[in-house]
Amino acid sequence: MNERPCAILYTSHTGFTARYAALLARMARIPAYDLGDRRERLPRGTPVLYMGWLCAGKIQGLDRARRQYRVLGVCAVGMAPPDSGQTQTLQRKNNWADLPFFYLRGGYDHQKVRGVYRLMMSAMGKVMAKKAGQDPEARQLLEIMENGADWVTPQALEPVAAWLKG
């Protein structure tokens, strides 16, 4: 990598992406900023690593970050276990193919889900409950939605930290 991000920029809904950003900021020794924080502003065009949470395959805040900053790499934080097919689908849905991409498994905490997303997850839970009898993946997702989960670890960030170091 020729240019190194000057900062980590993130969007978080339930706190898992924010925790990853804070961990990575300490590991890489660069600051992390919440994209929605009006008090903290980076100059337009600043080179950043962007971290955003996933909702229906869309990386939240990525389009806004790309309009305001020079996004050099992307971390998507979601509930699903990482797999190779997921990367290509996310790249297509989020309109980028030229940026380094990392997928991080975050977690789920129903108590922290707000607004329309809470309604969406409740509806999804009902669908998973119907499928859980014959579909092991649906059963596992339903269990996560009912009990919560937290997969945030510093080890998950090692590939991102290695990329940042160049």
Residue ranges per structural domain of the chain = 7-109+150-165, 111-147
pLDDT at 47: 97
What is the residue-averaged pLDDT of the chain?
A: 88
Residue-wise pLDDT for 77-110, tens only, equals: 988 888 756 777 888 888 777 789 999 999 988 7
Comparing 88 with 47, the larger pLDDT belongs to: 47
- Residue 158 has, within 13 A of its CA and on its CB side, a CA count of 3
Model confidence band, residue 123 (pLDDT cutoffs 50, 70, 90): confident
**Type of residue numbered 150:** D
- Residue 144 has, within 13 A of its CA and on its CB side, a CA count of 20
- Greatest mean pLDDT among 47-56, 76-85, 104-113, 130-139 lies in 47-56
In three-state secondary structure terms, 131 is: helix
pLDDT at 85: 67
Least confident segment among 9-23, 29-43, 111-125: 111-125
Q: CA–CA separation, 46 vs 27, rounded Å?
A: 20
Model confidence band, residue 5 (pLDDT cutoffs 50, 70, 90): very high
Q: CA–CA separation, 99 vs 49, rounded Å?
A: 10
Correct CATH for 7-109+150-165 of 3.40.50.360, 3.40.50.1980, 1.10.10.10, 3.40.50.920: 3.40.50.360
Length of the chain: 166
The answer to whether 73 touches 162, Cβ cutoff 8 Å, is no
pLDDT at 166: 83
Four-point Cα dihedral 61, 66, 69, 70, nearest 10: 130
Residue 27 CA to its chain's centroid (Å): 18
Work out the average pLDDT over 52-56. Answer: 90
pLDDT at 16: 95
